Amino acid sequence: MRPEKDSGKGVAKRLFRLARILKLLVEQESISTDRLCTTLGITPRSIQRDLKALRAAGFPIHEQGRGLHRLDKSLLKHLDVYDEADLALIVALKDLTMHLGQPFTRAAEHVFNRLNDFTDERPVIVKIEKPVWLSRPLMNTIIKAIQTTRCVAFTYTSHPATVEPYRIAYFDGIWYLVGRDTGERIIKKYALDKIADLKILRRTFKGVPPQIDEALEHSTNIWFSFSRNLEVLVEISPGFAGYFERRRILPLQEIVERRADGTLLVRFMACTPEEISVCLKPWLPHARIIRPETARDRLLDDIKAWIAWQSAP
């Protein structure tokens, strides 16, 4: 979807119009272009443009016959419980993630599926932690720079930086810009709330490296890099093995063995020693590093330092 030319009010107006179209498609088995035109008071050309935008955002809308449209409700769950404001927000979020690459699109679909996954007998409460404050104009400017392959310059924690912007990533309540520092020529991550005075430069770059999306897809935290070559073998205690069986908690996680006592042997691949500690500390004391020994020793040193600090007056 492209924003209409008449500023924020135009964007909001169109989002609500798209939401009304979506609501009508949810309520009806099928609906004609003429009916949509009459209901919404817009031209057939506008209807076609809006339907195209909804399809691009991922909604399964099909043309049954000439001018007759149908929403495949088998692929969507419980959209009928949302009002037009809710649907407008869903459309806007789908449109945003569509511009951020495949990992974000898949992540958004996962979130929407979880939000919709409930029954009338037991509504589900989905608690999402409040993220660190994010400037919408800053986000929009960075997205524009990514789409036009233009470098950006900004101040980061009082230091100047010039970066090839590749992706915007969200981990643990914080938004990050992932890009290559043009001076050091290495991939870095910049927390958006620490970026100031960002400007798009005339200088362009070749494009987003294809391995960026793969690296993001396999990462469970911001401690990632292209080189994920540290193999880690951990043992998970019986009472917590189920969490690791139900979903991927660790990067490139693979279950190696399920033991008779309920213990789980899990292998995963890490980028750095720091990532190993970050991944496993939330699961202590229910996770034990088998190898590499260096990672185990590093984690033990961290724990000993914490115990000493905890015991200090």
pTM of the complete model: 0.52
Please check whether residues 143 and 190 belong to one and the same domain.
yes
Alpha-carbon distance of 279 to 234, in angstroms, equals 11
Please check whether residues 302 and 251 belong to one and the same domain.
yes
CA distances for 25 relative to 14, 19, 112, 279, angstroms:
17, 10, 18, 44
Last residue of a domain, one of 216, 239, 274: 216
| Rg (alpha carbons) of the chain, rounded to whole number | 24
In three-state form (DSSP H/G/I as H, E/B as E, the rest C), the secondary structure along the chain is CCCCCCHHHHHHHHHHHHHHHHHHHHHCCCEEHHHHHHHHCCCHHHHHHHHHHHHHCCCCEEEEECCEEEECHHHCCCHHHCCHHHHHHHHHHHHHHHCCCHHHHHHHHHHHHHHHCCCCCCCCCCCCCCCCCCCHHHHHHHHHHHHCCEEEEEEECCEEEEEEEEEEEEECCEEEEEEEECCCCEEEEEEHHHEEEEEEEEEECCCCCCHHHHHHHCCCCCCCCCCCCEEEEEEECHHHHHHHHHCCCCCCCEEEEECCCCCEEEEEEECCHHHHHHHHHHHCCCEEEEECHHHHHHHHHHHHHHHHHHHCC
Q: Read off the CATH number of the domain in which 162 is found.
A: 2.30.30
Query: Has residue 123 been placed in a domain?
Result: no
State the CB neighbour count (10 A cutoff) for residue 260: 5
Please check whether residues 51 and 81 belong to one and the same domain.
yes
Please check whether residues 107 and 26 belong to one and the same domain.
yes
Alpha-carbon distance of 181 to 187, in angstroms, equals 6
Query: Has residue 1 been placed in a domain?
Result: no
Query: Has residue 18 been placed in a domain?
Result: yes
Please check whether residues 91 and 140 belong to one and the same domain.
no
Query: Has residue 254 been placed in a domain?
Result: yes
Please check whether residues 112 and 14 belong to one and the same domain.
yes
Please check whether residues 278 and 237 belong to one and the same domain.
yes
Beta-strand relationship, 174-181 and 264-270? unpaired
Q: Read off the CATH number of the domain in which 96 is found.
A: 1.10.10.10
Please check whether residues 182 and 151 belong to one and the same domain.
yes
Query: Has residue 221 been placed in a domain?
Result: no
Beta-strand relationship, 186-191 and 230-236? unpaired
Query: Has residue 224 been placed in a domain?
Result: no
Split into its structural domains, the chain has a count of 3
Q: Read off the CATH number of the domain in which 281 is found.
A: 3.30.70
Last residue of a domain, one of 116, 151, 181: 116
Give residue 123's pLDDT. 53
pLDDT, block means (10 residues), the chain with 313 residues = 50 77 84 90 90 80 85 64 64 62 59 52 52 77 92 94 92 87 90 93 91 79 75 95 90 92 94 87 94 93 93 88
Find residue 68's DSSP bridge partners: 32, 65
Last residue of a domain, one of 185, 216, 247: 216
Please check whether residues 77 and 48 belong to one and the same domain.
yes
Please check whether residues 56 and 152 belong to one and the same domain.
no
Please check whether residues 151 and 78 belong to one and the same domain.
no
Q: Which range marks the domain in which residue 97 is found?
A: 7-116
Alpha-carbon distance of 83 to 62, in angstroms, equals 22
Please check whether residues 20 and 92 belong to one and the same domain.
yes
Alpha-carbon distance of 201 to 74, in angstroms, equals 46
Query: Has residue 143 been placed in a domain?
Result: yes
Query: Has residue 90 been placed in a domain?
Result: yes
